[in-house]
Structure 1
Amino acid sequence: MISLTLTRLSDVLHGELHLGPDAAPGDRVDGLVDTDSRLIEPGGIFVAKPGEVTDGHVFVDAAVERGAAVAIVERLVPAEITQIVVADAVTALADLARAVVGTVRDAGRLRIVGITGSNGKTTTKNLLARILEDEGETVAPRASFNNEVGAPLTMLRVTEDTRYLVSEFGASGPGAIARLAGLVEPDMGVVLMVGLAHAGGFGGIEGTFRAKSELVRALRPGGVAVLNVDDPRVAAMAPIAHERGVSVRWFGRGEDAEVRADDVEVTADGTRCTVTAGGRTARLHLRVLGEHHVMNALAAIAAATELGVALDACVERLQTVELAERWRMQPLGSDRVRIINDAYNASPDSMAAALRTLAQITGPGERTVAVLGSMSELGEYADEEHDRVGLLAVRLGIQRIVVIGQAARRMYLEAVAQGSWDAEAVFFATDDEAYEYLMGELRDGDRVLVKSSNSAGLRFLGDRLGESFS
């Protein structure tokens, strides 16, 4: 974080300053900000955020032991540390992020890119950050830090030397992206797709469209919206951009895309394609598994080239990326039994993309095995969409379909109804039961996809299988 005096920090937070031992109002702090006391470093700022399970105020002493200089609290606690008492810790975190990013932007050449979409945000964020980090200091979220706490924590990592801030914006409900993007008013917004992920929380697909379009509405006048021309709902955001005085840059697989991919070839060691951007072409070998990640790469290239990075440099840097993020199409196991652990998130679109990838990368003499759990936050669409996954798995010819958990049972029932029999489709209530089955069932040449929403917990089963067959 940039350096601030304790007085200035308190003013930004609209808080009440209580000095700790030997502290003075003019003392400066510039350490990292965090809500997790275990991650606090010497000189850091600990935000004691109340939570559903525990209360951050309980961990102020732990933060002191790790060297925290300041605690942002909602009530004074008996600890020997400077404390700033605020009305709401999460609101204070947002206020601090707004002030810090605004100060850096006003003083230098900071460019801010926001990314949203029903799927692919984290992968695209990581790909774009990899391109930009060779251009100058780049700040991007750890993991999926994209909510009301994670996004500001990322923003607060900027310094006077930061050239690029890449922010990932998730949406817990209507207005969430508007609030987060409104903290920094991005210069560029990337919208990947509008799908059914979290549709239950938005009242359907049109509600999701409105939520994702909040990023375009939050862009600075004169900024750029990088939009997926292949997704009609994303393409429909162009008029919103124009109303805001924002230009549009299109990416996609179709001829209308300014940044597009042709000659796509999917293999077990990644995806190859020819990328066209700005009248130039380059051959890309994207080692992140899955044809669907080509679109994420195109989005990153579209944003980076708009920021002035040459296409050849974009391609060269992307080819160094082997894994988008842990638990996202993560190869585990061995050549004998390959495990693909993609169980951090799941939506109808990402589930279909992962199943198609499994079918595409499995060669002659190898067997496809799909280990599937539930997709969360689908609301009224849950039954229908779980049925569709079971149907798709059968139509793709997946040879073993292992469904885990009551919330996903309809996948199994649909697979059986569509003709998957003789133990081709099996159901287990728990991942322990499924693990015991798989340890006896898997054989040399199997290619195994583990896919579910985070809440189903199958990512740990994927890790377990990967360890067993490493």
Structure 2
Amino acid sequence: MIGLSLAEIADAVSGVLHTGGSALTADSVVSGPVHTDSRNIEAGAIFVAKPGEVTDGHLFAPQAVDRGASLLIVERHLDLPVAQVVVPDVVVALGALAADVVTRVRALGRLKVVGVTGSNGKTTTKNLLGAVLERVGPTVAARGSFNNWVGAPMTMLEVTDDTRFLVVEMGASGSGSILRLVRLARPDIGIVLSVGLAHAGEFGGIEATADTKAEMVTELLGTDVAVLNADDPRVAGMAAKTRADIVWFGQGPTATVRASDLHASASGTTFVLQLASGESRTVSFRVLGEHHVMNALAAAAAAERLGVGIDDIVAGLESVARAERWRMEVLGGRDGVTIINDAYNASPDSMSAALKTLAQIREPGMRTVAVLGEMAELGELAGEEHDRIGLLAVRLNISQIVVVGTAARRMHISTINEGSWDGESTFVDTADAAFELLRDSLQPGDTVLVKSSKSAGLRFLGDRLGDLFS
């Protein structure tokens, strides 16, 4: 974090400063990293005692002090020999501190902020854009999927006076959640990737999801830029809700940043990238799955508006070998067995895209195996969407399906009801049972997709299979 006095921090978070028992005063400046996990504390760090679903960060404040924390942000004063800022809500305070830091750095005149949202592809796009921007200037981008009211501010707090680009991933937990993050970060560029059925059960349907994703662009200024997916009608409709200048990306004719001549394989996708300037280049994109080309286009569109040239854009895109841990992550290799571990998130859209990729990269004469678990948070749509994925797997002629867990069982039933298979689909209750089955049944040359929502835990099954065939 940039250097701020204790008084400035207390003012930023509307808190009450207590320095009793500490060697610091209100004018003392701290600049250490900010953490919500006491295990990550180092000398000079700031510890935010966040209450959790299972435990309370205040209980770990003594360990944070022992590890050298210089300041605690807490909801009640603790009997500890360290400076403390007491606030009504530490999560709100964390956001306020992050907003203050970004405002101060932005005032220096160099920092540009990009916000990224969408039902699918946020983390991949954030990683791609970060890889491009860091080629031309100091860049801060979220680690992993730091995209909620805690993770996004933690990313923002990593900026320094030298930071030129900040890329903030913004997820949604319901109406108003993205708007809250937008008001903290104040993006110069807002990217909306897609509107799909991910979290539709939480939001109350896809139209409510679209309204929530539109919060990314509704408060952008006329001097800002909205990067919108021209191929998604619900995203395209957001053009009427923003004052910002619009850059369209996609594969259709209305896109100004677009891809053509796509060719997908097990090593990635090659395509011709055309920028809004009219410049074009062939990109050898190593992230597995043709659907990730849209994320590359969004990153390229934002980067171009930030003044990055096409050579650096292409080099940045080509430098990224995987979307993220547990996202189309290629493992294995022994006996020609390839494991594609894509079990961090799953929605009907991402499940369909992953299955189509599996079918697309099939080597002649070799088998494809789909290990599928629950798609969570679909509400009343869950049954029919699991049915639809089972039918899609049949129609894509996937060689073998293993459905894992009771919540996903309808995928198995729908494949049987399709009537075109005879034993190609198997249902098991647990990931352990799936591992035992696959350990004994996988054949040399198989390509295996492991796909589910995070809650199903199949990402660990993917890791075990990757280790087995490494």
Instruction: State the TM-score, normalizing by the size of structure 2.
Output: 0.98
Distance 2:305 2:9 in 1: 35
- SS of residue matched to 2:162: coil
SS at match of 1:107: coil
For residue 221 of structure 1, report the CA deviation from its aligned partner: 3.1
Partner residue in 2 for 1:151: 152
Q: Which residue pairs with 1:51 in the alignment?
A: 52
1:287 aligns with 2:251: no
Mapped to 2, the partners of 1:60 and 1:221 lie a distance apart of 45
What's the counterpart of residue 333 of structure 1? 332
* Residue aligning to 2:257: 259
C-alpha distance in structure 2 between counterparts of 1:438 and 1:78, whole Å: 55
Q: How does 1:9-88 map to 2 (within 5 A)?
A: 9-19=9-19, 20-88=21-89
Distance (Å, rounded) in 1 between the aligned partners of 2:428 and 2:447: 20
Q: TM-score, normalized by length of structure 1?
A: 0.98
The 10-residue stretch of structure 1 (122-131 or 212-221) with the greater mean CA deviation from structure 2: 212-221
**Residue matched to 1:173:** 174
Alignment of 1:301-380 (within 5 A): 301-334=300-333, 336-380=336-380
Which one-letter code corresponds to 1:307 in the other structure?
L
The residue number in structure 2 matching 1:465 is 465
Q: Per-residue displacement from partner, 1:71-117 (whole Å, max 9, x unpaired)?
A: 11111223222111111100100110111111111122110100000
Structure 2 counterpart of 1:130 = 131
Map 1:424-443 → 2, pairs under 5 A: 424-443=424-443
Match of 1:192 in 2: 193
Please list the CA deviations of residues 265-302 of structure 1 after superposition, one character each: whole Å capped at 9, or x if unmatched: 00110000011111111000110000000000000000
Note the C-alpha offset of 1:38: 1.6
CA deviations 1:222-270 (Å, max 9, x no partner) are 10000000001100011112xx2x1100000011111111110001100
Task: Report matched runs for 1:211-222 at 5 Å.
Answer: 211-222=212-223
Cα distance in 2, alignment partners of residues 127 and 41 from structure 1? 30
RMSD across aligned positions (CA): 1.0
Aligned to 1:107: 108
- Of stretches 175-184 and 6-15 in structure 1, the one that deviates more from structure 2 is 6-15
Residue 420 of structure 1: CA displacement? Answer: 5.2
Q: Which amino acid aligns with 1:273?
A: F
CA distance in structure 1 between the partners assigned to 2:27 and 2:3 by the alignment: 11
* 2:32 aligned partner, one-letter code: G
1:5 correspondence with 2:5: yes
Deviates more, 1:288-297 or 1:80-89: 80-89
Long gaps (5+) in structure 2: none
Q: What is the count of residue pairs matched by the alignment?
A: 467
Give the letter for the 1:466 counterpart. Answer: G
Query: Counterparts of 2:68 and 2:331 in 1: how far apart (Å)?
Result: 38
Shift of 1:25: 1.6
Deviation at 1:324, TM superposition (A): 1.6
Residue matched to 1:276: 274
How far does the alpha carbon of each residue in 1:40-95 deviate from its partner, in whole angstroms, 9 at most, with x for none?
22211110011110100111122123221111111122322211111110010011
- Contact 2:129/2:299 (8 A) holds in 1: yes
Preserved CA contact (<8 Å) 1:110 1:164: yes
Moved over 6 A (4+): none
Cα deviations across residues 134-158 of structure 1 (Å, max 9, x unaligned)? 1111111110000011011111111
